[in-house]
Amino acid sequence: MRRSQRLPLITKTLLDRPGQLISLTELAQCFGAAKSTISEDVAIIRDAFAARKMGRIETVAGAAGGVRYIPGLSDEAIVETVSELCEALSDPQRILPGGFLYMSDLVSSPTLMSRVGELFAGRFYSEGPVDAVVTLETRGIPIALMTARALNAPLAIVRRASRVTEGTVVTMNYVSGSAKRIETMSLSRRALPPGARVLIIDDFMKAGGSARGLVDLMEEFGAKVVGMGVLIATAEPRQKLVKEYVALAVLELVDEERREVVVRPSGWVERLREGGPGP
């Protein structure tokens, strides 16, 4: 097999198994080449990814070493993705009765959510290994699933009502931060291993009641929350029930009478646009 054939195939293998360490021996056997040759191929791919800031390729030396792909978006791609999201959400046609926004089509877009998943994966990768991505049904599922794929981690879905097919579940009540009413969430005992490191991903945050409930539920499992990512957070109330979270966009205003919607990128995204540091 010529190098021009091996390079795209090795790249496809790495992209299909993000975060997973693949030994050079496995790649050499798969593509019928010496490990030294595969190592040269990986170096070419690594340099190409680094030049375009399309995630990164890591190599680990030693007998148990290998190569792995770490997903992530460049600063330019992050700004472009969040700007596209904000522009789409700012369409007055999305206003629903009661001051809500229609966003199911965006959350269900594989192309957009794939980029969002890589964005969250790259942002939280430095926090250490993630054993599971946790979300609350239902709109947060596509975002969390794409993030879980980018991190090569399983997805745990917290239900608002327990199901027979979940087996033994842990159920707890929490106070909705915006409506101030008691709601329920439950998660199967089999969903998380003991002492799991989890990343919480959700689609929307207003006062943070659901997010606070998810954090408390993870404590019941003895799990450690390594981070929290939110697609959209409201500007008000400014004091959320959770402090540590990363939001991509901020919903400033929904005016039904004037048919006006204001959605802007989060402050850390604006800093990236200006060439500053991220969150």
Per-residue confidence (pLDDT) for residue 62, from 0 to 100:
83
Per-residue confidence (pLDDT) for residue 175, from 0 to 100:
86
**Which residue stretches of the chain have pLDDT < 70?**
177-179, 276-279
How many CB atoms sit inside 10 A of residue 124's CB? 21
Which CATH number applies to 3-70?
A: 1.10.10.10
* Class of 75-273 in CATH: alpha beta
Per-residue confidence (pLDDT) for residue 126, from 0 to 100:
87
Domain boundaries, the chain: 3-70, 75-273
Contact 216, 243 (CB under 8 A): no
Per-residue confidence (pLDDT) for residue 275, from 0 to 100:
80
Entry pTM: 0.92
Per-residue confidence (pLDDT) for residue 73, from 0 to 100:
93
